[in-house]
A = this chain, B = another copy of it.
């Protein structure tokens, strides 16, 4: 009955979502902090650098700066700085795109590929440890669930 049965349950739902958000944030920040720390300790590197290397590792032909910032969903200027430092370290190279003098292609060097392979192997072990609470089936279910959510986000 009554037109106002909604408000009460809507509010309870809203509180439940807020609680979920706070837990999600705490969990992912915790894992991220641990990953940062280990990348720093074990490889003298950072998460943003790892993310750039991971993205480039999927494209042997390299990526344009704009494509890279698109894949990573960070700003152009941001990628400029990270790639600068990665290039200084010989992990990536910038290559002119023939026929378009505005664009540059960024590619992992041989050294970059080797370095990424080492880090990615360690990274997978770390994740396995840090998300050890979830067994294979639960992880698979949740991954599908959050994939749906991530997709809904994209349409916004």
Contact B124 A149 (CB under 8 A): no
- Knowing A27-B150, A128-B13, A136-B12 touch, does A20 contact B142 (C-beta < 8 A)? yes
Interface 9-mer from A29-37, A85-93, A105-113: A29-37
Smallest CB separation, A48 vs chain B (Å): 12
Q: Does A134 contact B (CB under 8 A)?
A: yes
A13 with B135: CB separation less than 8 A: yes
So how many copies of this chain end up in the complex?
Answer: 2
Contact status B149-A21, CB under 8 Å: no
Bound CA–CA A136/B13 (angstroms): 4
Given contacts A9-B136, A14-B128, A133-B149, contact A31 B20 (CB under 8 A): no
Assembled-state Cα–Cα distance A24/B26 (Å): 12
Whether B150 contacts A26 by the Cβ 8 Å rule is yes
Chain A contact residues, CB within 8 Å of chain B? 9, 12-14, 16-21, 23-34, 73, 124-125, 127-128, 130-137, 139-140, 142-143, 146-150, 152-154, 156
